[in-house]
Structures are given as C-alpha cells and as structure tokens.
Amino acid sequence: MPSIVSVAEAIPPHTIDQHTVMDFSRELFSESFKDIERLLGAFHNGQIKKRSFVKGIEWFKTDKSFEEKNNAYIESAVELGAIAIEKCLHNQEFLLRNIDYTEIDAIFMISSTGIATPSIEARIMNLLPFSEYTKRIPLWGLGCAGGASGLSRAYEFCLAYPSAKVLVLSIELCSLTFQRNDRSKSNLIGTSLFADGVACALLIGDEVDRESIQRLSSIPKITATQSTTMKNSLDVMGWEIRNEGLYVVFSKDIPSIIENWLKPNVTRFLDENHHDLNDIKHFVAHPGGKKVLDAYVNSLSLPPTMIEVSSEVLEEYGNMSSATILYVLKRFMDKGIKGDIGLATALGPGFSSELLLLRWE
C-alpha cells in the first residue's frame, strides 16, 4: 500500500493572537449585533490561542475588491506553496536524502480560498525545477475535507502507478475571503475560527525503495479510503459567490449533524476493512473547531486523549480548512510504531466525509 514519507508546513508571516482578532471583530460588528459581547464568546470558547495570516490585521480594516483579494491569494499561494514543497522534499526529520524535484510524478494541489488559472502548482513549477512532464491535478471546492481527499486521490494514483512519488499540496488562505461588510453570524463565527495555512505531503507507491529515503523506523501506509456525500446538504457549509467575492456558509447545525451522521459512516468503513473503533490507536482528525472535536468524541465514544493532537493544532493555528489535517498528520508521523492502526477523518462541503485507514509499517 502507498506510504506517507514526509510532511512539511509553510507558516504565513503574520501571527496574531485571538484577543487581537476579537477586538477587531468587536469594532467591526458591534453596530450590527446588540448582543455582540455574547456572540464574541465564540472567540473565548473556541480553544484557539493564535492564528497565522498572510496579511497583517491593518490590511483587513479597509475594503478590498475581489480582484485585490484574489491577486493577494495567488501571490502568497505561490510563495508559500513553493516553500512547503521544498521543505517536504528536503525534510531531514523524515527523509534520509533530499528528493529531487524531477522525481515527482504528480502534484495534487488542494485549495478552496482563491481562484487561479493556470492553477497554483503550474505557477510553482516555473519557480522550482520540476520535470515538464509532471502531472498536475488541481482539486478545488472540497473545503475542510480537501486535505484528506487529496491524500485519498494520491493513494489511488500510487495504486495505479506503484513506482510513483506524488505530492499533496494544500494551500488555504481563508483570511483573504474575509468580507468586511458581511454582518451575518456565519461571518462572525468564521472570523473567530479560520486561518491561513499551507502544507505538503509526499506519498510513494509500493515499488519505490522506501528504505533508501525513509528516516523513521515506521511510517503510515494508507490501506483504504472512503468518500461519502450526504444527500440534500448543500447548505451546511461552503461559499456563496457574489460580486465582492466568497461569502462563508456555515450552519450552526454542523456539530449535531456530525454526532448523528459520522458514527454509522465510520462503522461501515471499519467493518468493510475488518476493524472496529477499539483497533484505532491514532485518530488523525481535522479540527474544524472545538464543537466539531467534541462532536467526534461524543459520536464515536472516544476518550478525550484521542483528540489531543488535533486540539493542539487548533489552539496554535486555528482552522486552516484543507491544510489543517496535514498539520495534524505531521505530528502523528513519528508517534506510530509498527502495526499501529490509525483513522484519518475530515468533513467538508457537500456535506461530505473523507476517511482514510492507516497502518504504521
């Protein structure tokens, strides 16, 4: 089965603590909500301490056109995406040797927070010395599920081409979708939660000599995946596209949907692969928010210790949409020992679920 051999992050340049963002939001939203202090409880209760952004907070205090925001997205996505790729392929923590750019057979580029044609990975290929024959697979619109979906699609690519080395590059600059004049509660909650993040993972097929590049004694192999889309759930999360850009759609019912829907989904997946929840040693969960993590625990009857890593990522970085699960995965890379079973999960627009079964070898 295909293996994940390296994961790396590129942290945006501006790190802002949650209290500063809360004060900014109080100033912006106080005229729209008489109960603003109660609503600002989302900043206190969301478990986030700080987040990173590609622009400083002053940038968001004036109106920006869709063109300005999207141009900023392209510029920062290319810069940070190139850094994440370089760090992933030259990662001495996980690799015995640097992987040459020309060894990469395909790039899966995941994003939902900006628009670019040619897509971001094509622009990066003009900066870094990839082969001109590298396959490009940009995936757009998967939202928070995108990182897990990218790993799943790269897994399938490596099954088809077992000698392949494949990158999954996730770039989410959520802050650049911010709408100053959107006075909805969804926008206020989004402002308390979302952040910018970029990460890259390297997957290899079975015919690659992993002993020559793998530094860790054991690494996670992907043994199975499952994609699920809930019928008639288009309004749960996503974007509403208007003249000014992308407006967040974020249902307050997401935690209750998770509690009612996730367990049957997970149980079916594990049953098909001859496992149950008691076999899971590592829970690699996308931390959509504190309420989402609590819903995982309640739905799957997990001990709270199973979400500690996801909680730590949420505290330090916020919800970076699709990139977040790669940040979580990076912290699990050296936690597993040979034979450990892991479950990776992320939820996104659709309403959709992506599940991956992992085994450390």
Q: Which amino acid type is present at position 252?
A: K
Q: Which of 297, 355, 292, 284 is nearest to 326 (CA)?
A: 284
What Rg do the C-alpha atoms of the chain give, in angstroms?
20
d(CA 86, CA 249): 34
Helix/strand number for the chain, H first, E second: 11, 13
Task: Return contacts of 97-104, CB within 8 angstroms, 24+ apart.
Answer: 97/212, 97/213, 99/6, 99/165, 99/202, 99/213, 101/128, 101/129, 101/130, 101/131, 102/129, 102/130, 102/131, 103/165, 104/130, 104/131, 104/134, 104/165, 104/166, 104/167
Q: Which residues contact 92 (CB under 8 A, 6 or more apart)?
A: 215
Does the annotation count 158 as an active-site position? no
Q: Which amino acid type is present at position 73?
A: Y
d(CA 197, CA 182): 23
| Identified catalytic residue from 144, 158, 174, 200 | 144
Catalytic residues: 144
